[in-house]
Every structure is written in C-alpha cells, then in structure tokens.
Amino acid sequence: MKNTLRQIAHSPKFMIGFCMILLMVLSVFIYPLIVPGNPLEMIGLGTFFRPGTYVSVYDSVSTDKRYVIKLSDAAEKRLASKLAPEDREVMKTWLLAFGLPEESIDLENTEELLQLWRNTYDPELRFDNMTTAVRKHVQRTDAKLDSLLTDTDIIIASETDGTLTQSGAVGANDYVNVSEIANVRVLPLGTDNFGRDVLKEMISALGTSLLIGLIAGTIATVFGLALGLLAGYVGGIVDDIIMFVTNLFTVIPSFVLLILISFSISQTQRGTVTVAVVIGLTSWVWTTRSVRAQVVSLRNRDHVNLSKLSGHSLPRILVADILPYIASYVIMAFILQISSGILAEAQLSMLGLGPRTTTTPTLGLMMYWAMLYTAHINGAWWAYFPIVVLIACVSFSLNLMNTGLDQVFNPQLRG
C-alpha cells in the first residue's frame, strides 16, 4: 500500500494532473477572499466590457493630486489611439485618388501620415471616380483631425441654477497616479453580457462544476460498483436481471436519456444538485459492466473460496476480498466519471437544459449565455474562450491523473 502510494507520488503524469486540480480547487477557495463580493453581481451597465483596468473618470478628474509630466511622444500616442483604423482607411482612399503611389502611404506611422495629409489635402478638389458621399466623408474626417490636433485644456464646469461655473481644467500634460484614485477596478477577463466580472464568475462556476462532477461521479461510481459487484459475485438470476437493465441503458445513448430526463424535470426544480444527480444516474452503465467483468474473474479465485470456507458473510467477502482487487480500477473510473460529469453539465447547459438557476454560476451556463448573446460574433472572446480553456484543463488534468494511475496499477502499459 505504502509502496503503491510512493509509486503514484513518483508518477509525473499523475502529479501534474493532481497539481492542476489542486490549483483549481485552491483558487475556488482563495480567489473570493482576494476579490470579495457576489460573483453574480451585475457591475457593468452594458454588455461585454473588454478585459482591462477600469479607472473611475469622475475620481481622476476631481482629484486634487495631479502631476504634470511632459513626454515628447505623448501627443503622438494620443493621436494614434484616437485616429481609428477606419479614419486611416478613408485618408488612404483620398490619397490614392489624388494620385499618390500606394507604397508611399504608411497607415501605421501616424506622424508621417498626418504630415502627408496636411501637405496634400485640399477640400476643394474633386475626382471623377469619387462619389460626393465619399468626398463629404473625407471632409468630415478632416474636420475631426483638426479637432484632434488642438491640445487646449478641457474645461470642467459645475452647474448651479442653470449657470455654468468653471471649477477646473484638465491640461494635456496632466497625470494622475492610479494608486491614488479611489475607484479602480481590474477586470482581467472583462464582463459578460449581464455586466458580471467574468473571472470572478468563472472561478465560482468552476467550484460549482467540480461539485457537479463530484456528485455525478460519486453517484455513478457507487451505483455502478454496487450493481457490478452484485451481478458479478452473486450471478444467476440476479446477474441476468442487472445485466438486462444495464444492456437496456447501454443501447439507449445516455446523452439522449439525459436530455429527456432534464427536459421532463420542471424548470423550477432543475437546480445544480438535481442536474448532477440526473447525470450520475445516466452514466453508471459502463462502470457496472466493467466491474462485473472483473468480479466474475475474481469470484472463483482461491482466496475468495478460502474466505468463504472461513465463514465470512457476503458483504464481508465483497468488501474485503473483492473490492481491494478492483479498487484501483474503481478509483480510475471515478476520476473519469468526474470529468465526464463536468462535460455533461456543460453540454446540457449549452442546450439550455442545464441547471435553471440565477444564484449559482456553472461553466456550462456561462457558455450558454455567451452563446445566446452572440459573444463569438461580437468578438467578445473573453466571455467564452477562457471557459472553454478551463473546461479543457479540468478534463485534461483528470485524464492525466487517470493515465498516471493506470501506469502505476498496470505496469505492462509502461513502454
């Protein structure tokens, strides 16, 4: 036993998988301590805020501590960030129509582009191959450029009784220190369609999904193990009945069954635990079959016969003489059941048949909402891609653990 544990601890595959799972479980517990609050709180008014650091404009404008920093490239950077790619395209269209060779126009170099523009642009010029609408568009872009190039102070005014009084001004070289701003919120993965912090929600959802996997895996393993042990050891009519039911479940694809059961449970009752139980109850079949097969080969072993001759009872023989021999297999099946339970929840939720809850997030539900609000079309990758990666990581680490155990328990596999 001790030797086996040592071997498991020395299996790199198992340890990598185990550490990954451990890291995920730890983050489920530790992250809420770092960023407290309800993970489902809708903090953003709007959908799909980009990942980044959000600094309160109000606080940064009204702060007394303001620093003047003169940077030579500040104006250029500002311009580059404000001059949208579409505007650059419009400028290029006009310059090409004017007759400049294409290779002389560098859209990336803002300074050079502006220089070129100032030297050549003439609002009065008309070209045959340019419609009036496009010409007007170019004129509007040019006007915008003018306003961009002026770097006068922005006046801050407060309103009392319909009259504005200047209360301050923000210059182009004014800076605030982010650490002195009262309200800064880092959203490492932005917000989702409801304006919820994706990272916080995702870590909370990971906890729920692991729990669903654990419940589903436990039910499937216990159920499958009990039936497999009975069918294999007792044999006869008991075996026939259990195998009949098992075969019945084998031929019906379990996912279809899962969909039907989930659909028939009323929406109000479909909580996370219910869904986990349903997943567990539809995935015991293969455990039963393989446990039965192993028990059939074990039940005629001499040590089992000897145990019978020593007057041991059926439960004792099952637990003491059969179970230890298949324990390694059962542990591996359990790990795989957890993994498939998590995947099944995600699949069900994608179909809208997952847990119907507004109080607990699950990985599947997050994917469901991201899909429903077309995050993939809107380019809001942060609303679904990290979740896909996380599900893959959970699955991967559990399977890695399983492979590691397999190599320890079945040394012939070690090539």
Asked if 306 interacts with other proteins (CB under 8 A), we say yes
Q: Which of 50, 82, 303, 376 binds other proteins (CB under 8 A)?
A: 303
DSSP 24-89: HHHHHHHHHHHS-S-TT-B-SSSS-PPSEEEE-HHHHHH-S--EE---TTHHHHHHHHHS-HHHHH
Please, which residue, 35 or 323, has the CB nearer to other proteins? 323
Q: Candidates 64-72, 249-257, 287-295, 310-318: pick the segment binding other proteins (CB under 8 A).
A: 310-318
**Minimum distance of other proteins from residue 44's CB (angstroms):** 57
Q: First vs last Cα of the chain: how many Å apart? A: 24
Q: Which of 109, 139, 167, 305 binds other proteins (CB under 8 A)?
A: 305
Instruction: Look at residues 11, 40, 22, 25 and name the one whose alpha carbon lies nearest to residue 362.
Output: 40
Q: Candidates 13-21, 155-163, 175-183, 318-326: pick the segment binding other proteins (CB under 8 A).
A: 318-326
| CB 327, CB 225: distance < 8 Å | no
Spatial separation of the C-alpha atoms in residues 270 and 267, rounded to whole Å: 5
Please, which residue, 113 or 298, has the CB nearer to other proteins? 298
Asked if 311 interacts with other proteins (CB under 8 A), we say yes
Asked if 301 interacts with other proteins (CB under 8 A), we say yes
| CB 356, CB 270: distance < 8 Å | yes
Asked if 321 interacts with other proteins (CB under 8 A), we say yes
Burial label for 86, CB within 10 Å (0-12, 13-18, 19+), is: exposed
Please, what is the Cα angle at 79 between 77 and 85, to 5 degrees? 105
Interface with other proteins (CB under 8 A), residue total: 17
Asked if 411 interacts with other proteins (CB under 8 A), we say no
Asked if 379 interacts with other proteins (CB under 8 A), we say no
Q: Candidates 175-183, 193-201, 244-252, 312-320: pick the segment binding other proteins (CB under 8 A).
A: 312-320
Please, which residue, 136 or 301, has the CB nearer to other proteins? 301
- Going from the C-alpha of 6 to that of each of 12, 13, 258, 404, 405, the distances in angstroms are 12, 14, 39, 13, 12
Spatial separation of the C-alpha atoms in residues 43 and 192, rounded to whole Å: 10
CA–chain centroid gap for 390, Å, is 5
Please write down the long-range contacts of 248-252, taking CB distance under 8 Å and 24 or more positions apart.
249/282, 249/284, 249/285, 250/285, 250/289
Q: Which of 135, 137, 144, 312 binds other proteins (CB under 8 A)?
A: 312
Asked if 313 interacts with other proteins (CB under 8 A), we say yes
Please, which residue, 186 or 320, has the CB nearer to other proteins? 320
| CB 6, CB 393: distance < 8 Å | no
Asked if 37 interacts with other proteins (CB under 8 A), we say no
Q: Candidates 131-139, 269-277, 321-329, 337-345: pick the segment binding other proteins (CB under 8 A).
A: 321-329
Q: Candidates 55-63, 134-142, 305-313, 399-407: pick the segment binding other proteins (CB under 8 A).
A: 305-313
Enter the tokens of residue 149: 């190039």
Q: Candidates 44-52, 160-168, 304-312, 382-390: pick the segment binding other proteins (CB under 8 A).
A: 304-312
Please, which residue, 322 or 390, has the CB nearer to other proteins? 322
Q: Which of 68, 133, 309, 377 binds other proteins (CB under 8 A)?
A: 309
Asked if 324 interacts with other proteins (CB under 8 A), we say yes
Stretch 42-101 residues interacting with other proteins (CB under 8 A): none
Asked if 126 interacts with other proteins (CB under 8 A), we say no
Q: Which of 35, 265, 308, 409 binds other proteins (CB under 8 A)?
A: 308
Strand partners, 67: 175
Residue 132: other Cβ atoms inside 10 A: 8
Enter the tokens of residue 79: 């311009």
Please, which residue, 252 or 327, has the CB nearer to other proteins? 327
Burial label for 2, CB within 10 Å (0-12, 13-18, 19+), is: exposed
Please, which residue, 101 or 411, has the CB nearer to other proteins? 411
Spatial separation of the C-alpha atoms in residues 40 and 195, rounded to whole Å: 9
**Minimum distance of other proteins from residue 298's CB (angstroms):** 10
Could you list the residues that contact other proteins (CB under 8 A)?
Answer: 1, 301-303, 305-313, 320-321, 324-325
